[in-house]
Amino acid sequence: MSAEELFSGQNQATVIDYSGKVPVEHLDYRYIEKCKDVKYLEKILKVLRSGEEGVYPHLINFCENRLELIDPKNRLLRKDNPVATTASLSKEEWGQIIEDLKMWQEESKQTEYSLRHQPLLTDNVKENIPPVRGFNHSVPLTQNVQQKQNKNPSKRPLPRDYREWDKFNVEKECEQIDGNNNTSDPPAVIKARFSKLQTNLDVSSLTEQEQLILAKREKDKGNEAFRAMDYEEAIAYYSRSISILPTVTAHNNRAQAEIKLKRWNNAMKDCQIVLEMEQGNVKALLRRATVYSQTERFGQAAKDLRTVLIQEPQNAAALKLLSETEKKIQEMGQTETRRRGKKILIQEVNGDDLSDQCETILKARPVERIQPEGGEESPAAPDMGNTQKKPHGRGDSSPHSDNGSSHHHHAPRKGKSSSADKYKVNHESKDKVANGTSKRGSTASAQADQSSRTSAEAEAKNTVNLDAPCGALPPPLSRLKNEGNLFFKNGQFADALEKYSQAIQGYTDSGIDSPEDLCILYSNRAACYLKDGNSQDCIQDCTKALELQSFSLKPLLRRAMAYESLERYRKAYVDYKTVLQIDTSVQAAHDSVNRITRLLIEEDGVDWREKLPEIPLVPLSAQQHRRLEQPSEEVLKARAEKTKRDAERRAEVQFTALKQEGNDFVKKGQYKDAVEKYSECLKLKPEECAIYTNRALCYLKLERFAEAKQDCDAALKSEPTNKKAFYRRAMANKGLKDYLACSSDLQEVLHQDPNVQEAEKELEEVTVLLRQSLANANTNANTSLAKPRKSVPITEVDGEEDTPCTTDCRGEDASINLNPSSAYEFGQALNAARSSGNTLACADLLASTPPQSLPQYLSTELDGQNLTFIMKAMDSHLLQRDPGLVYRHLCHLHTADRFKIAMVLLEKSDRSTMTQLFDRLSAAESSEFTKNDVQNLANKFI
């Protein structure tokens, strides 16, 4: 006898005595698991906790869990928390408690003192208060006191007679009281303040940033109104936000407010706008599904909800609304069926077996109970109630009870021939009334039953196409299979069994080769055997089906159920585990495995696994859960977009937190820690200008000037006019002693904002440092050049000598070398020409020097005086000879190393000479350049 039968027998045989002692056999895991009486479970738990029958910690925990499952708030489950003491609290918490107590004590004393010294009654109140009873106090004549004792005692109401109470209608009086209560409430005051709000705002004069801020502010106001359940005002503010800047969030929020006010059309419009702006938005789909559901468009609502669950499978709101929508769809279908009267709606079953159809249903809904169709039985709802209690012969089973309810135990057994008659109760009862008898064996009843059965079959045949093709079966066998499916759907399992048997016999005689179709026939006939309680024949047919197609899900599941009904638990366990290897979503297999595991542990002990037959390994090709349909491109795209948005949102939150931590470290002077935080920020957002400038500040504080300059350069790449980046790069250049670059950056800061006093002060200091450095450089250069000049031999040439002259005889100084071969010789010649003021010699020197070599020759000689002298020589002599050569020299001159320093040291008169040169150059005619070219070149000099 199984544990369930033992428990049911105990419940029927004995009545629980709450006052007596708990029997020892009730202190058992199985009894506690089956017991549903909260009061008796409390008594069992008290006995276990007392230790009268021994201490069993695991059994006590099991009993507590069972009691918590039935009554979560039971008083026996309460656990006392220890009283808080000084040791359990921290020093700060205890100090705070002491301070609060002292403050409360002081406030209490002050309140008590004020109450004691405050007069209880004012003079005004004293005049209208009657004297205290028991005191000899006379009432003043001026006081107006109503003499209640002077009232006429004859007007007092007399008590009712007892006979009047018999005529008193209590219900009528209660209704009047309820009516008075309903009508006494004041009418609701509708706030009209929102109607004064202007929903359309003119923001054409605002910038995009200002519009964004204003739209967010209006949306926040709408959120506050929504939380206060003032939905009209919320809609007004959301409309204002949308008029400024339409966003997905504002439209979504307004749709939710419209739903609260049951304005379905407006809510639908907002949802459509959101889905156009952002396809696959979860909130918009969920709210549109709500609107569809409220407007009784349940099919469209279910479609939207399934789309939501693809993106968020654990969305509780979508799951709840989908279940409600499906119930309403089913109710509408049932209502439609009832409207059609006596017509029977029979769905057409294709030739692909009922098991194939139910496989699709099982994949779509692995946990829900599915009604069987044709020769199919849903694995999610095993019919174990009948098969466990019936003998191994063919019995009867109800088609509408897949759970095995208790009323099956008392149902009379019927033979195979009566199984079809059981499901025609309505026709049978009508015939009984018409014939005036209730006996099953009567002739009139049999005739009526036969006629009703014939009419039902004829109507079903007219509705369903029984000649539909079924796989590779010939038409006669296809018809037999379709008829069997139809009988099974109507609950006529014996007739369905006969049709399937005829089809199997015809298959054998026809000699066709289609193992898939034969497997389906055996599987369907096994379902009929299982319904009739014939587990032995069910096992045989399932085994034949599995020989034809190994690892077929339905035959395995049915054979497992049949084994379990015959109490062959080991074989049933193996089949259930094989089913779970094929499809892990079969909930019936999970439940049965758990149930059989407990039975095997009780029967075989800890080594129960060693006594099991070998569980076969299912190949990957047969595992259905590995062949799930791949999501569509739209779903994948929506998932990718959602993942991207989530990643950006998380990165934004992390970036904000790291930036705030870095700012806090800067305020505390912890610049190294701040640099680490800012570096982590740049990993998230490598183009954030503010982070580069902040980290540059930290590097300046740490005197890491090169790194500070790099950060400032990076900031200026993303934002070329950033004033902070220019100023901090100037400070970095100052630290690196690059005073020219520092001066240039400071001048840029002052050009953007002339009111920056710090930049003015720094520019003055840097200018002084720059002049000092240039003076030192010139001194060192002249010193280095003075010595080699003394060793240059100068030879006087007589006028009568015929030796050719290697110098320019036109110059006043015969020592000037007009064909230098190095920077040293060029420097000597330039200094000699400048010292004598010979601009003609300088022009000849430039004419003989290649323009591309000029920056190299001037690398150590270029200063303000030399630059001015070269410009004068070009303007006075060289420009007239060859304007193109002057243009080429100027194009290369500004690339010299010390050119910027020389430009800083020029005086105003020198700059005017340079301007005059460019004016004359632009007026000159040449094929090598244009006026625009000269103007662009002048921008680099002037």
Q: Is the pLDDT at 305 greater than 50, yes or no? A: yes
Tell me the C-alpha distance between 283 and 843, whole Å: 80
Tell me the C-alpha distance between 777 and 650, whole Å: 56
Q: Which two tokens stand for residue 792?
A: 């240059």
pLDDT at 514: 84
How distant is the alpha carbon of residue 575 from its chain centre?
Answer: 40
What is the per-residue pLDDT across 534-558, written as a single tens digit (0 to 9) for each?
A: 999 999 999 999 998 888 899 999 9
Tell me the C-alpha distance between 421 and 452, whole Å: 10
Question: What is the chain's mean pLDDT, rounded?
Answer: 75
- State the burial class of residue 834 (Cβ atoms within 10 Å of its Cβ: 0-12, 13-18, 19+): buried
Q: Is the pLDDT at 795 greater than 80, yes or no? A: no
Q: Which two tokens stand for residue 582?
A: 């094929």
Taking residues 725-732, report their average pLDDT.
92
Taking residues 381-410, report their average pLDDT.
37
Q: Is the pLDDT at 60 greater than 60, yes or no? A: yes
What is the per-residue pLDDT across 803-855, written as a single tens digit (0 to 9) for each?
A: 333 334 344 444 577 788 788 888 888 888 888 888 888 888 888 888 888 88
Share of the chain above pLDDT 70, in %: 71
pLDDT at 250: 92
Q: Is the pLDDT at 932 greater than 50, yes or no? A: yes
DSSP symbols for 505-519: HHHHHHT---HHHHH
Taking residues 883-901, report their average pLDDT.
85
pLDDT at 154: 52
What is the per-residue pLDDT across 676-715, written as a single tens digit (0 to 9) for each?
A: 999 999 988 888 999 999 999 999 999 999 999 999 999 9
pLDDT at 127: 53
Q: Is 654 helix (H, G, I), strand (E, B) or coil?
A: helix
pLDDT at 625: 55
DSSP symbols for 60-96: HHHHHHHHHHH-TT-GGG--PPPPP-TTTS-HHHHHH
Report which of 172, 280, 189 is spatially closest to residue 230, judged by C-alpha positions: 189
Tell me the C-alpha distance between 372 and 459, whole Å: 21
Which sign does the torsion angle of CA 925, 931, 933, 937 carry? Answer: positive
Q: Which two tokens stand for residue 786?
A: 């003075």
Query: Cβ neighbours of residue 838 under 8 Å, at least 6 residues apart?
Result: 811, 812, 813, 816
Residue type, 421: D
Taking each helix axis from N to C end, the angle separating 553-565 and 535-548, rounded to the nearest 10 degrees, works out to 150
Taking residues 769-792, report their average pLDDT.
60
First to last CA, the chain: 111
pLDDT at 737: 86
DSSP symbols for 744-806: HHHHHHHHH-TT-HHHHHHHHHHHHHHHHHHHHHHHHHHHHHHHHHHT-------TT--SPPS
Tell me the C-alpha distance between 19 and 751, whole Å: 98
Q: Is the pLDDT at 569 greater than 50, yes or no? A: yes
What is the per-residue pLDDT across 103-160, written as a single tens digit (0 to 9) for each?
A: 999 999 999 888 888 665 555 545 555 555 544 444 444 444 444 445 455 556 666 6
Work out the pLDDT band at 339, boundaries 50, 70, 90.
Answer: low
128 or 13, which is more confident: 128
What is the per-residue pLDDT across 446-492, written as a single tens digit (0 to 9) for each?
A: 444 454 454 445 444 445 678 788 878 888 888 899 999 999 988 89
Tell me the C-alpha distance between 375 and 455, whole Å: 22
- State the burial class of residue 557 (Cβ atoms within 10 Å of its Cβ: 0-12, 13-18, 19+): buried
282 or 124, which is more confident: 282
Biggest CA-to-CA distance, the chain: 172
Report which of 565, 564, 566 is spatially closest to residue 577, judged by C-alpha positions: 564
Report which of 881, 807, 804, 796 is spatially closest to residue 841, judged by C-alpha positions: 807
pLDDT at 542: 94
pLDDT at 673: 92
pLDDT at 624: 67
pLDDT at 640: 85
Tell me the C-alpha distance between 659 and 653, whole Å: 10
pLDDT at 152: 54
DSSP symbols for 591-645: HHHHHHHHHHHHHHGGGGGGGSPPPPPPPGGG-GGGSPPPPPHHHHHHHHHHHHH
β strands within 267-374, DSSP E: none
Residue type, 588: A
- State the burial class of residue 496 (Cβ atoms within 10 Å of its Cβ: 0-12, 13-18, 19+): buried
Q: Is the pLDDT at 935 greater than 70, yes or no? A: yes
Do residues 288 and 268 make contact, with C-beta atoms less than 8 angstroms apart? yes
363 or 187, which is more confident: 187
Q: Which two tokens stand for residue 757?
A: 């006093």
Q: Is the pLDDT at 288 greater than 90, yes or no? A: yes
DSSP H or E segment with residue 289: helix 282-294
Tell me the C-alpha distance between 414 and 404, whole Å: 17
Q: Is the pLDDT at 80 greater than 50, yes or no? A: yes
